[in-house]
Amino acid sequence: MARARSRIAGVISVFGELLITTGVLLALFVVYSLWWTNVLADRAATEESDRVRHNWAAAPQGQGPGALDTKDGIGFLHVPAMDEGDVLVKKGTDPETLNDGVAGYYTDPIKSALPGDRQGNFTLAAHRDGHGAKFHNIHKIRTGDPIVFETRDTWYVYKVFKDLKQTSKFNVDVLQPVPKESGKTAPGRYITLTTCTPLYTSEYRYVVWGELVRTEKVDSARTRPEELR
């Protein structure tokens, strides 16, 4: 009887140690996913952003944003409500692109317009958790808040008019040139921000829509619009 109890105690002890080890490994994985990937992504994004601004400074005068539509990045997103600073925007929304701590504009399933287009929907995505988490605070955006997109020679100032706090990740209609779920029925110059929701999951999508209210030419000092001061 004593020997049997000893075996049972040994099994319980080993099982307990395995649970502790598993818990430690899971904790380390969470730390990696939610902290270390942010460190790596922010480092990569800073390097890429510096390269884009350097290229802008070296570009011939008069080169417009269309000519800057390259894999290096087309400009910077500024959303004061999210307090993320300058977010580099690149082409594509695949993980290879977004994992570098940037936002990307959609090339499929519905191709994004670019800010300089006469009409259309400039549709963007970024991670909400890990890998830079540039849209982590998307829930802080309110109707009337500014969204500003910066290119080498133009500031595009949008105003938020609607959000959709949860929708299916398969709902591509939110990316349409005229996003009717936002209440719009006519062509315009829109911007759409999308990311995962709820926090720490990717089950649904959170969507914010804005509409262009004006543009400003960038001056030699790159003076920011009043919305960013």
pLDDT in tens, the chain (229 residues): 555 555 554 545 544 444 444 443 334 444 445 678 888 899 999 999 999 998 888 876 655 544 555 567 999 999 999 999 999 999 999 999 999 999 999 999 999 999 999 999 999 999 999 999 999 999 999 999 999 999 999 999 999 999 999 999 999 999 999 999 999 999 999 999 999 999 989 999 999 999 999 999 999 899 999 999 9
* Domains and their CATH numbers in the chain: 40-228 (2.40.260.10)
- Entry pTM: 0.84
pLDDT of residue 72: 79
Picking from 147, 156, 154, 157, the residue whose alpha carbon sits closest to that of residue 56 is: 154
Distance CA 108, CA 7 (A): 60
Distance CA 136, CA 82 (A): 8
Active site residues: 196
Percentage of the chain lying above the pLDDT 70 cut:
80
